[in-house]
Amino acid sequence: MKIDNSLLEKYFKGNCTDEEVKLVEAYLGQPATPEADVWFEQMYEESAATPIVSIKQTPYRRWYGVAATVAVLISFGTWMLQWQQQRPGRHITAIKWDTIANAGNDIKLMTMTDGSAVWLSPHSSLVYNQQYNDTSRELWLEGEGYFNVKHDPARPFSVHTRQLKTTALGTAFNIATNNKADGTIEVSLLEGKVSVATSTFSCILHPGQQVAFNDDTGAFVPAALNRQEVSDWRQGKMVFDQTPLEDAFARIQARKGCKIIVDPAFKGKRKVSGTFPASTPVENILEAMQYVHGFRIEKSGTNTYAIVTP
């Protein structure tokens, strides 16, 4: 029995369906798992800089009837120990990470051990070291999250999003990694002060400021904060305020966990404004936009939509 690397990665991130979990566990139960050995060795080399694994489900408080954390049924730590025993000399202490994955359409509110609060948007995930709050407080975010940080100058609070590192200086801020069509990361400061940095650039944000960072170009673009758009998801809404149409599609895709394929003809200066309850089905949101912009919607399967010219 062989397995695909992408499925292994989903499993150890805690993103598999029940059927996929059974498939991966059956594979890992085999005497020989050559594909996993190769994948795991690659991940091991990257682990110190980029945590990717989930060891256990972490308790959290529920808000808005949140869905349960995706269960990871086999400890990655156990698998790692077995792997190391077969390959003497490997050091395993660097990988001790927890993942909280919000695979549902509701919001999760978590209180960290230091008292900081994290709101996790639908279809987003958060990774942190099990030694969180011992000497530092570091998190890795994919998706969108809002952070209300407990002030502690002795233990810096930092959020990593790909190349970007945002460090709180006693504050409340929002980070979104998937709300823009070009993959731009947006950091928005509501209270306090944060440092936003890469290996080659850094800046300080003050309340009401926002910065957008593009991984591909390395460009930082400052902007005025649109509080209504930034805070919409925590208020149970999806707000567009003269939002470029392709960015609106990107945000719908991120919030709803769907895939939207956009005809190049609808990229450019088209904009959309409107407010939708967060529970509004994807089809209804797209149909409202269709009425204004005149595109055609083609649905493929249960979760993919194509935006095409009439």
Closest CA to 278 of 101, 142, 104: 104
Tens digit of pLDDT for each residue in 125-178? 998 887 888 888 999 999 999 999 998 888 889 999 988 999 997 789 999 999
Using CA atoms, how far apart are residues 37 and 28, in angstroms rounded to an integer? 10
Tens digit of pLDDT for each residue in 164-206? 999 997 789 999 999 999 899 999 999 999 999 988 888 889 8
pLDDT value, residue 123 = 92
Cβ atoms of 185 and 158 within 8 Å: the answer is no
Pick the CATH number of 236-308 from 1.10.1040.10, 3.40.1010.10, 3.20.10.10, 3.55.50.30: 3.55.50.30
Tens digit of pLDDT for each residue in 92-111? 344 467 888 888 888 999 89
Using CA atoms, how far apart are residues 75 and 188, in angstroms rounded to an integer? 35
pLDDT value, residue 101 = 86
pLDDT band at 255 (very low <50, low <70, confident <90, very high): very high
Closest CA to 15 of 65, 59, 77, 72: 72
Residue 57 pLDDT > 90, yes or no?
no
Q: What is the 3-state secondary structure (H, E, C) of 21-77?
A: HHHHHHHHCCCCCHHHHHHHHHHHHHCCCCCCCCCCCCCCCCCCCCCCCCCCCCCHH
Tally Cβ neighbours within 10 Å of residue 247: 17
Cβ atoms of 229 and 212 within 8 Å: the answer is no
> What are the backbone dihedrals phi and psi of residue 274, each rounded to the nearest 5 degrees, phi first?
160, 160
Tens digit of pLDDT for each residue in 211-243? 999 888 888 888 878 888 999 999 999 999 999
Pick the CATH number of 107-235 from 3.10.105.10, 2.30.30.240, 1.10.10.10, 2.60.120.1440: 2.60.120.1440
pLDDT value, residue 121 = 94
Q: Amino acid identity of 83?
A: W
Q: Where in the chain is the domain with CATH 2.60.120.1440?
A: 107-235
pTM attached to this predicted model? 0.68
Q: What is the 3-state secondary structure (H, E, C) of 172-207?
A: EEEEECCCCCCCCEEEEEEECCEEEECCCCEEEECC
**Block residue for tokens 């950091």:** 187
Using CA atoms, how far apart are residues 183 and 251, in angstroms rounded to an integer? 11
Q: Where in the chain is the domain with CATH 3.55.50.30?
A: 236-308
pLDDT value, residue 40 = 55
Give strand pairing partners of 99.
Answer: 127
Structure tokens, 172: 């409340």
Q: Amino acid identity of 58?
A: T
For residues 275 and 9, the model is more confident at 275
Cβ atoms of 16 and 7 within 8 Å: the answer is yes
